[in-house]
Amino acid sequence: MSVKILITGANGQLGSVLTATLQDRYGLENVVVSDIRNSGNNRGIFEVIDATDYERVQSVVTQYNITQIYHLAAILSAKGEENPLQTWDINTKALLNVLEIARLNAIEKVFYPSSIAVFGEGAPKNNTPNDAYLNPTTVYGISKVDGENWAQYYFLKYGLDVRSIRYPGVIGHQSLPGGGTTDYAVDIFHKAVLNEKFNCFLSEDTALPMIYMDDVIRSTIELMEAPSEKIKVRTSYNLAGVSFSPKDVALEIAKILPNFSIDYKPDFRQDIANHWPKSIDDSQAKTDWGWQPKYNLEAITKTMINALTEHYT
Ligand code: AKB
Protein backbone atom coordinates (compact mmCIF):
# COMPACT_ATOMS: atom_id res chain seq x y z
CA MET A 1 0.00 0.00 0.00
CA SER A 2 1.36 3.45 -0.84
CA VAL A 3 1.98 6.03 1.88
CA LYS A 4 -0.65 8.79 2.28
CA ILE A 5 0.22 11.22 5.04
CA LEU A 6 -2.04 13.65 6.89
CA ILE A 7 -0.32 16.44 8.85
CA THR A 8 -2.34 18.46 11.38
CA GLY A 9 -1.02 21.81 12.60
CA ALA A 10 1.09 22.02 9.46
CA ASN A 11 1.45 25.81 9.52
CA GLY A 12 3.33 25.87 12.84
CA GLN A 13 7.07 26.40 13.35
CA LEU A 14 7.95 22.73 12.96
CA GLY A 15 4.98 21.77 10.80
CA SER A 16 5.85 24.04 7.92
CA VAL A 17 9.38 22.63 7.58
CA LEU A 18 8.38 19.01 8.25
CA THR A 19 5.62 19.32 5.65
CA ALA A 20 8.03 20.47 2.94
CA THR A 21 10.43 17.64 3.81
CA LEU A 22 7.69 14.98 3.72
CA GLN A 23 6.37 16.38 0.43
CA ASP A 24 9.85 16.14 -1.11
CA ARG A 25 10.27 12.62 0.23
CA TYR A 26 6.88 11.08 -0.54
CA GLY A 27 5.54 13.32 -3.32
CA LEU A 28 3.19 16.32 -3.20
CA GLU A 29 0.21 14.13 -4.06
CA ASN A 30 0.85 11.86 -1.05
CA VAL A 31 0.84 14.49 1.69
CA VAL A 32 -2.37 16.16 2.87
CA VAL A 33 -1.44 19.38 4.61
CA SER A 34 -3.90 20.74 7.16
CA ASP A 35 -4.30 23.46 9.74
CA ILE A 36 -7.10 25.36 11.39
CA ARG A 37 -6.59 28.18 8.85
CA ASN A 38 -5.25 28.33 5.33
CA SER A 39 -2.17 30.57 5.34
CA GLY A 40 -2.26 30.62 1.54
CA ASN A 41 1.44 29.62 1.46
CA ASN A 42 1.00 25.88 1.19
CA ARG A 43 2.15 23.72 -1.72
CA GLY A 44 0.18 20.64 -2.69
CA ILE A 45 -3.06 19.46 -1.13
CA PHE A 46 -4.40 21.66 1.69
CA GLU A 47 -7.47 21.02 3.86
CA VAL A 48 -8.76 23.25 6.65
CA ILE A 49 -9.06 20.97 9.71
CA ASP A 50 -9.89 21.81 13.30
CA ALA A 51 -8.46 18.65 14.85
CA THR A 52 -10.92 18.86 17.75
CA ASP A 53 -13.69 18.18 15.19
CA TYR A 54 -13.87 14.38 15.00
CA GLU A 55 -16.11 14.25 11.91
CA ARG A 56 -13.87 16.61 9.98
CA VAL A 57 -10.70 14.59 10.69
CA GLN A 58 -12.57 11.38 9.81
CA SER A 59 -13.86 12.75 6.51
CA VAL A 60 -10.37 13.83 5.36
CA VAL A 61 -8.90 10.47 6.38
CA THR A 62 -11.58 8.71 4.30
CA GLN A 63 -11.38 11.09 1.33
CA TYR A 64 -7.63 10.61 0.85
CA ASN A 65 -7.21 7.02 2.15
CA ILE A 66 -4.72 8.27 4.75
CA THR A 67 -2.19 5.69 6.03
CA GLN A 68 -0.07 7.84 8.40
CA ILE A 69 -0.87 10.85 10.60
CA TYR A 70 1.59 13.42 11.96
CA HIS A 71 -0.50 15.14 14.62
CA LEU A 72 1.28 18.43 15.34
CA ALA A 73 -1.66 20.70 16.24
CA ALA A 74 -1.33 21.96 19.84
CA ILE A 75 -1.16 25.07 21.99
CA LEU A 76 2.35 25.56 23.43
CA SER A 77 3.58 26.26 26.98
CA ALA A 78 3.42 30.06 27.35
CA LYS A 79 0.29 30.61 25.27
CA GLY A 80 -1.37 27.69 27.03
CA GLU A 81 -1.18 29.42 30.41
CA GLU A 82 -3.42 32.26 29.14
CA ASN A 83 -6.37 29.91 28.98
CA PRO A 84 -5.59 26.59 30.71
CA LEU A 85 -9.00 24.93 30.27
CA GLN A 86 -9.18 25.74 26.58
CA THR A 87 -5.58 24.52 26.12
CA TRP A 88 -6.41 21.26 27.87
CA ASP A 89 -9.51 20.85 25.75
CA ILE A 90 -7.75 21.49 22.45
CA ASN A 91 -4.56 19.53 23.14
CA THR A 92 -6.21 16.42 24.56
CA LYS A 93 -9.38 16.30 22.46
CA ALA A 94 -7.48 16.64 19.18
CA LEU A 95 -5.08 13.82 20.13
CA LEU A 96 -7.86 11.47 21.21
CA ASN A 97 -9.69 12.15 17.92
CA VAL A 98 -6.56 11.28 15.98
CA LEU A 99 -5.86 8.11 17.99
CA GLU A 100 -9.42 6.84 17.79
CA ILE A 101 -9.72 7.59 14.06
CA ALA A 102 -6.33 5.97 13.48
CA ARG A 103 -7.50 2.82 15.30
CA LEU A 104 -10.83 2.60 13.49
CA ASN A 105 -9.31 3.24 10.07
CA ALA A 106 -6.33 0.89 10.45
CA ILE A 107 -3.86 3.75 10.08
CA GLU A 108 -0.31 2.31 9.91
CA LYS A 109 1.54 4.90 11.98
CA VAL A 110 0.88 8.01 14.04
CA PHE A 111 3.45 10.60 15.10
CA TYR A 112 2.76 12.59 18.27
CA PRO A 113 5.20 15.29 19.44
CA SER A 114 5.76 15.54 23.17
CA SER A 115 8.06 18.04 24.86
CA ILE A 116 10.61 18.69 27.60
CA ALA A 117 7.61 20.42 29.23
CA VAL A 118 6.55 17.01 30.63
CA PHE A 119 9.23 17.36 33.31
CA GLY A 120 8.85 19.26 36.59
CA GLU A 121 10.43 19.44 40.02
CA GLY A 122 10.43 15.66 40.44
CA ALA A 123 12.99 15.18 37.66
CA PRO A 124 16.77 15.79 37.87
CA LYS A 125 17.57 19.09 36.11
CA ASN A 126 20.78 17.89 34.47
CA ASN A 127 20.87 15.06 31.98
CA THR A 128 17.23 14.26 32.78
CA PRO A 129 16.67 10.54 32.11
CA ASN A 130 13.95 9.23 29.80
CA ASP A 131 12.07 7.60 32.65
CA ALA A 132 12.29 10.47 35.16
CA TYR A 133 9.27 11.33 37.29
CA LEU A 134 6.79 13.54 35.40
CA ASN A 135 5.09 16.32 37.36
CA PRO A 136 4.77 19.26 34.95
CA THR A 137 3.65 22.71 36.07
CA THR A 138 2.09 24.01 32.82
CA VAL A 139 -1.18 22.87 31.30
CA TYR A 140 0.77 22.21 28.09
CA GLY A 141 3.10 19.88 30.00
CA ILE A 142 0.19 18.14 31.70
CA SER A 143 -1.52 17.62 28.33
CA LYS A 144 1.69 16.15 26.89
CA VAL A 145 2.07 13.66 29.77
CA ASP A 146 -1.56 12.72 29.25
CA GLY A 147 -0.94 12.37 25.51
CA GLU A 148 2.13 10.18 26.01
CA ASN A 149 0.11 7.83 28.20
CA TRP A 150 -2.76 7.70 25.72
CA ALA A 151 -0.26 6.93 22.95
CA GLN A 152 1.11 4.02 24.96
CA TYR A 153 -2.43 2.88 25.83
CA TYR A 154 -3.43 2.72 22.14
CA PHE A 155 -0.25 0.81 21.37
CA LEU A 156 -0.68 -1.71 24.18
CA LYS A 157 -4.43 -2.19 23.87
CA TYR A 158 -4.98 -1.92 20.09
CA GLY A 159 -1.49 -2.35 18.60
CA LEU A 160 -1.64 1.14 17.07
CA ASP A 161 1.88 2.12 16.01
CA VAL A 162 2.17 5.52 17.71
CA ARG A 163 5.65 7.04 17.95
CA SER A 164 6.70 10.10 19.88
CA ILE A 165 9.63 12.40 20.67
CA ARG A 166 9.97 14.91 23.51
CA TYR A 167 11.16 17.93 21.59
CA PRO A 168 13.50 20.48 23.14
CA GLY A 169 13.20 24.12 21.99
CA VAL A 170 13.42 24.14 18.19
CA ILE A 171 15.61 26.71 16.41
CA GLY A 172 15.16 27.34 12.71
CA HIS A 173 15.32 30.21 10.23
CA GLN A 174 12.50 29.03 7.96
CA SER A 175 9.59 29.72 10.32
CA LEU A 176 8.70 31.59 13.49
CA PRO A 177 7.66 29.85 16.69
CA GLY A 178 4.52 30.96 18.51
CA GLY A 179 3.53 30.72 22.14
CA GLY A 180 6.51 28.78 23.50
CA THR A 181 8.97 29.41 26.35
CA THR A 182 11.96 28.57 24.16
CA ASP A 183 10.90 31.06 21.43
CA TYR A 184 13.54 33.58 22.56
CA ALA A 185 16.22 31.36 21.00
CA VAL A 186 14.77 32.07 17.53
CA ASP A 187 13.82 35.73 18.06
CA ILE A 188 17.33 36.54 19.27
CA PHE A 189 18.80 35.73 15.84
CA HIS A 190 16.25 37.87 13.98
CA LYS A 191 17.03 40.87 16.20
CA ALA A 192 20.78 40.30 15.91
CA VAL A 193 20.69 40.21 12.12
CA LEU A 194 18.42 43.27 11.99
CA ASN A 195 20.95 45.04 14.23
CA GLU A 196 18.32 45.62 16.94
CA LYS A 197 18.74 45.24 20.68
CA PHE A 198 17.18 42.04 22.02
CA ASN A 199 15.03 42.05 25.16
CA CYS A 200 15.20 38.54 26.54
CA PHE A 201 12.26 37.29 28.62
CA LEU A 202 14.49 34.75 30.42
CA SER A 203 17.42 35.51 32.72
CA GLU A 204 20.93 35.23 31.28
CA ASP A 205 21.79 31.95 32.99
CA THR A 206 18.60 29.99 32.20
CA ALA A 207 19.97 26.93 30.41
CA LEU A 208 17.45 24.88 28.40
CA PRO A 209 17.69 21.96 25.97
CA MET A 210 17.50 23.16 22.34
CA ILE A 211 17.82 21.61 18.90
CA TYR A 212 18.40 22.88 15.36
CA MET A 213 15.57 22.45 12.86
CA ASP A 214 17.50 20.11 10.51
CA ASP A 215 18.28 17.80 13.41
CA VAL A 216 14.70 17.75 14.65
CA ILE A 217 13.24 17.04 11.20
CA ARG A 218 15.76 14.26 10.63
CA SER A 219 15.03 12.77 14.06
CA THR A 220 11.31 12.69 13.34
CA ILE A 221 11.73 10.96 10.00
CA GLU A 222 14.31 8.53 11.40
CA LEU A 223 11.94 7.60 14.23
CA MET A 224 8.99 7.16 11.87
CA GLU A 225 10.98 5.05 9.39
CA ALA A 226 12.67 2.84 12.01
CA PRO A 227 11.53 -0.79 12.09
CA SER A 228 8.74 -1.17 14.63
CA GLU A 229 10.69 -3.63 16.81
CA LYS A 230 13.34 -0.93 17.45
CA ILE A 231 10.77 1.34 19.11
CA LYS A 232 11.02 0.25 22.73
CA VAL A 233 9.53 3.38 24.33
CA ARG A 234 5.86 3.88 23.54
CA THR A 235 5.29 6.93 25.72
CA SER A 236 7.93 9.27 24.25
CA TYR A 237 11.68 9.50 23.60
CA ASN A 238 13.91 12.19 25.12
CA LEU A 239 15.80 13.98 22.36
CA ALA A 240 18.80 16.23 22.88
CA GLY A 241 20.60 18.54 20.54
CA VAL A 242 22.46 21.15 22.56
CA SER A 243 21.90 22.92 25.84
CA PHE A 244 22.57 26.63 26.35
CA SER A 245 21.51 29.77 28.20
CA PRO A 246 20.61 33.18 26.68
CA LYS A 247 24.08 34.41 27.71
CA ASP A 248 25.78 31.50 25.90
CA VAL A 249 23.97 32.24 22.66
CA ALA A 250 24.49 36.01 23.00
CA LEU A 251 28.25 35.46 23.34
CA GLU A 252 28.27 33.17 20.32
CA ILE A 253 26.35 35.75 18.24
CA ALA A 254 28.75 38.50 19.33
CA LYS A 255 31.65 36.51 17.85
CA ILE A 256 30.08 37.12 14.42
CA LEU A 257 28.14 40.36 15.07
CA PRO A 258 30.22 42.26 17.67
CA ASN A 259 27.65 45.10 18.00
CA PHE A 260 24.93 42.74 19.20
CA SER A 261 23.35 43.85 22.46
CA ILE A 262 20.93 42.13 24.82
CA ASP A 263 18.90 43.08 27.87
CA TYR A 264 17.30 40.65 30.31
CA LYS A 265 13.73 41.25 31.49
CA PRO A 266 12.39 37.95 32.81
CA ASP A 267 8.59 37.63 32.74
CA PHE A 268 6.13 34.81 33.58
CA ARG A 269 7.99 32.49 31.18
CA GLN A 270 10.96 32.46 33.57
CA ASP A 271 8.90 30.47 36.04
CA ILE A 272 7.98 27.94 33.33
CA ALA A 273 11.65 27.57 32.30
CA ASN A 274 12.75 27.19 35.94
CA HIS A 275 10.79 23.93 36.15
CA TRP A 276 12.23 22.43 32.97
CA PRO A 277 15.44 20.41 32.56
CA LYS A 278 18.69 22.21 31.77
CA SER A 279 19.88 19.26 29.70
CA ILE A 280 18.40 15.98 28.54
CA ASP A 281 19.69 12.39 28.43
CA ASP A 282 18.72 10.97 25.04
CA SER A 283 20.75 7.75 25.28
CA GLN A 284 17.59 5.63 24.88
CA ALA A 285 16.87 7.20 21.45
CA LYS A 286 20.54 6.70 20.50
CA THR A 287 20.49 3.04 21.50
CA ASP A 288 17.06 2.12 20.11
CA TRP A 289 16.96 3.82 16.72
CA GLY A 290 20.41 5.33 16.26
CA TRP A 291 19.71 9.01 16.97
CA GLN A 292 22.73 11.37 16.64
CA PRO A 293 22.46 15.19 16.63
CA LYS A 294 24.74 17.12 14.25
CA TYR A 295 24.43 20.79 15.22
CA ASN A 296 26.22 22.35 18.21
CA LEU A 297 25.72 25.98 19.32
CA GLU A 298 28.47 27.29 17.05
CA ALA A 299 27.02 25.58 13.97
CA ILE A 300 23.48 26.72 14.85
CA THR A 301 24.63 30.33 15.28
CA LYS A 302 26.57 30.44 12.00
CA THR A 303 23.74 28.81 10.05
CA MET A 304 21.03 31.04 11.55
CA ILE A 305 22.98 34.26 10.96
CA ASN A 306 23.87 33.33 7.38
CA ALA A 307 20.33 32.28 6.47
CA LEU A 308 18.64 35.28 8.10
CA THR A 309 21.15 37.75 6.63
CA GLU A 310 20.21 36.40 3.21
CA HIS A 311 16.52 36.55 4.11
CA TYR A 312 16.61 40.20 5.19
CA THR A 313 18.80 41.51 2.33
C1 AKB B 1 7.64 25.55 24.23
O2 AKB B 1 8.53 26.33 24.59
O3 AKB B 1 6.49 25.53 24.71
C4 AKB B 1 7.98 24.50 23.19
C5 AKB B 1 8.41 23.23 23.81
C6 AKB B 1 9.72 23.13 24.49
O7 AKB B 1 7.69 22.29 23.79
N8 AKB B 1 8.99 25.00 22.32
**Which atom of ligand 1 is found nearest the CA of 179?**
3
Protein residue with least CA distance to atom 6, ligand 1: 169
Does any ligand 1 atom lie closer than 6 A to the CB of residue 167?
A: yes
Residue 1 has pLDDT above 70, yes or no: no
Residues 6+ apart with CB under 8 A from 138: 77, 80, 81, 117, 272, 275
**Which atom of ligand 1 is found nearest the CA of 77?**
3
- Taking the centre of ligand 1 as the mean of its atom positions, its distance from the CA of residue 104, in whole angstroms, is 31
CA nearest to 30, candidates 73, 70, 67, 72: 67
Q: Is 140 a catalytic residue?
A: yes
Protein residue with least CA distance to atom 1, ligand 1: 180
Q: What is the pLDDT of residues 173-229, one digit of tens each?
A: 999 989 999 999 999 999 999 999 999 999 999 999 999 999 999 999 999 999 999
Of 79, 143, 166, 183, best ligand 1 pocket probe by most atoms within 8 Å of the beta carbon: 183
- Tell me, yes or no, if the pTM score tops 0.95: yes
Q: What is the pLDDT of residues 87-139, one digit of tens each?
A: 999 999 999 999 999 999 999 999 999 999 999 999 999 999 999 999 999 99
- Taking the centre of ligand 1 as the mean of its atom positions, its distance from the CA of residue 183, in whole angstroms, is 8
